[in-house]
Structure 1
Amino acid sequence: MAPASSCHATSMAFDAPFVGNTHQIRTVEAFDADEHAHNLTDWEQSYDQITRGRFHGTLAELQLPQMQVFRECTSQAVRQSCCVWPDAFWFGLPEQSDQTRINGRLAGAHAIMVRPGDCEFELVTPPDYAIYGIVIRRNALLQAAELSGSRIDWAQLACAEVIHVDNNSRTSLLQTLAGLLQNDGGCTDPDLRQQVLLNTLLALLDTSAVDGAVSSSFQRRQRIVAKARDLVLAHHDQAITVPKLCEQLFVSRRTLQYCFEDVLGMSPMQYLRLIRLNGARRHLRQASAKSLTVQDVAADWGFWHFSQFSSDYRKLFGQSPSQSMLTKTH
């Protein structure tokens, strides 16, 4: 896995966005974090549940001629690996929380997150979370800015993760998004809807300020965390310990602890267990089709003490491993 902030050297295999688009609001719910990740149209995503309890996610999505608009809600804290289609910009507006991390950085209460398409990024979101998202084709945004006379530093925007905006403009954009995602009998013309949203977004970007670039020391901490995740996933049948990670990454235990706390807000040990438990859950949800047992899957993810695995699994996901095998979601 590449560091979460890196752009792909080659384009990912996305379907053509918006095929068969009816410009109607689509709503869907899920009771598994990774299933929820795949409900968002034309994104490449993977979610790991972090906090304990049954997961519930809802999504309201609207596809316009050159844009995708959505509101996503998640009941549990989640680590998200995300990537949208090429030649686009994503803008993320959390409703209230100031605890969102994008590529390890706290976004802040009144900021807006932004990433270009075909560029993997990581979010860590808290429990009971709601976020509005806008994905717009790059050319459509450029043309609209030119017509309106907006002055936007596109090179800087393409490299940004967090932009600071006027709070009144941010509130106005949130209200516009909420209105678009309500079936209240209002305007249904897709082109007019898109123009209203474009005007509101450009007014906000015209007065925004991009947060400064991250320091080289923080980038190093990001790389260490990404390498640790790669090692765990590459050897998921082994219970890799923190001392083993330190040895493989050539860092001290104190440095590793600091990197994880600074980038993810959790300890290395907690993160390693979460990654393996979430990996086992994905595997279990496919296990019945492959004639695997719960014990097979547990061993494949380095859990040799089955009773402890079962207990930890139930605490995190709110159901037993065997119940996950019986869950049919697709």
Structure 2
Amino acid sequence: MKEMEKTCLHDNESLLCTIHSNDANHQAENLINWQQQFDQLSRGRFVGVINEIHFPDIHVFREETSQQLRQQCQIEEGGLWLGFSADNKSCRINNQATRSEQFLCRPGGHEFELLTPENFSIFGLVLHRSWLKQWLEQNDELADNAFDCLYLEGVAPQLIFSFRQYLSLLLQADGHRWSSLTQQLILKDAVFELLSLAQNAPATTMVSAQRQRLMQRVKSYLHEVDLSAPLTIDEICAAVHVSRRTLQYAFSECLGMSPKHYIKVIRLNQIRRALLQSEQQQTIAEIALEHGFFHLGQFGQDYKNLFGENPQQTRHRHFSHS
């Protein structure tokens, strides 16, 4: 199976591209002008598809992913990302559970995290900074940080339904095709209406600030810790100064999983990225040991359970396509 396959259709004015991927790391690289990294959290082979059109001021896409993912994302400074479920499934953004009909929202230059379920499909729009700046200037009652929020409220269900229908049609290869200029005008008008009606998410619906701060401390600690050393829950609790129960509650509310499971899948994803580096000369056993796996038989089983293939298959498949 190919690591990635890309097809593009021209209509003389715009370009619709479809990109297929069978690895979460490649899926993360396939959306251009994004800084992002994906960690696969659920078990099984990954299948991903992106349908996208790049207009001068707006990038619109639909992304489909087969496995549960932790996505660390960031778009260019000055731009704006809007996203909403294409299939009525909810996800989490920066540890906050969302409803399937909400428009997610993050300004450019700010890293954010998505936790998406299995078999998830999401529409995304990235508004270029030049267009967003112009729109804010035309709506001078809004501050520059008007969309520094996790999601937008106040959007009528009918508007969401119509917007979903339009994007579905726009991103179909065999759907009705308008001229590029007409597509842009319709899309900009819809986005303009959306931003005009939307309101920032009320603070009362957010995950408690205390647990947000706790999760940030935990993730900072895990980023700095020696990967080759065993890591216990008690060590994490001591490092961030909380009890085991408090830590368990925070992970359950913010990520929907236990700290132990989270650490294991993050390390397995780090190993997979190491195996996919063409210049990598270390053995699989050496890589596993460097990431805290000392029982190699159990490591191999955990890896296969998560990714649907053993580490040798990952390395062989990668080098066979290098």
Distance (whole Å) between structure 1 residues aligned to residue 67 and residue 141 of structure 2:
36
Question: Does the alignment pair 1:88 with 2:67?
Answer: no
Out of 283, 287, 290, the residue aligned to residue 300 of structure 1 is 290
Distance (whole Å) between structure 1 residues aligned to residue 165 and residue 137 of structure 2:
25
Percent sequence identity over aligned pairs: 35
- In structure 2, the partner of 1:272 is 263
Structure 1 residue 86: Cα displacement: 1.2
Q: What per-residue deviation string (whole Å, max 9, x for no partner) do you get for residues 207-242 of structure 1? A: 222211368972332232233233333321122111
Q: 1:117 to 1:22 in 2, by over 3 A?
A: farther
Out of 161, 166, 183, the residue aligned to residue 176 of structure 1 is 166
On the 8 A contact 1:163/1:211 being kept in 2, the answer is yes
Distance (whole Å) between structure 2 residues aligned to residue 156 and residue 118 of structure 1:
12
- In structure 2, the partner of 1:220 is 210
User: What does residue range 224-239 of structure 1 map to in structure 2 within 5 Å?
Assistant: 224-234=214-224, 235-239=226-230
Length-normalised TM-score, structure 2: 0.88
Out of 271, 279, 282, the residue aligned to residue 273 of structure 2 is 282
Distance (whole Å) between structure 1 residues aligned to residue 206 and residue 102 of structure 2:
22
1:223 is matched by which residue type in structure 2? R
Question: Does the alignment pair 1:157 with 2:146?
Answer: yes
Length-normalised TM-score, structure 1: 0.86
Q: Which runs of 5+ in 1 are unaligned?
A: 1-20
- In structure 2, the partner of 1:39 is 30
Question: Does the alignment pair 1:195 with 2:158?
Answer: no
Distance (whole Å) between structure 2 residues aligned to residue 185 and residue 171 of structure 1:
18
- In structure 2, the partner of 1:25 is 16
On the 8 A contact 2:44/2:307 being kept in 1, the answer is yes
Distance (whole Å) between structure 1 residues aligned to residue 45 and residue 141 of structure 2:
43
Distance (whole Å) between structure 2 residues aligned to residue 178 and residue 217 of structure 1:
32
- In structure 2, the partner of 1:71 is 62
**Cα RMSD (Å) of the superposition?**
2.3
Displaced runs of 4 or more, over 6 A: 214-217
SS of the counterpart of 1:109? coil
- In structure 1, the partner of 2:99 is 108
Structure 1 residue 22: Cα displacement: 7.1
On the 8 A contact 1:145/1:202 being kept in 2, the answer is no
On the 8 A contact 2:107/2:147 being kept in 1, the answer is yes
SS of the counterpart of 1:38? helix
Distance (whole Å) between structure 1 residues aligned to residue 207 and residue 72 of structure 2:
22
Tell which deviates more after alignment, 251-260 or 153-162.
153-162
- In structure 2, the partner of 1:12 is none
Structure 1 residue 187: Cα displacement: 4.0
Q: Aligned residue pairs: how many?
A: 307
- In structure 2, the partner of 1:253 is 244
Q: Which runs of 5+ in 2 are unaligned?
A: 1-11
2:260 is matched by which residue type in structure 1? M
- In structure 2, the partner of 1:137 is 128
Distance (whole Å) between structure 2 residues aligned to residue 44 and residue 199 of structure 1:
28
SS of the counterpart of 2:251? helix
Structure 1 residue 146: Cα displacement: 6.8
Tell which deviates more after alignment, 211-220 or 77-86.
211-220
Structure 1 residue 307: Cα displacement: 0.4
Out of 314, 317, 322, the residue aligned to residue 324 of structure 1 is 314
2:202 is matched by which residue type in structure 1? G
Structure 1 residue 316: Cα displacement: 0.6
- In structure 1, the partner of 2:48 is 57
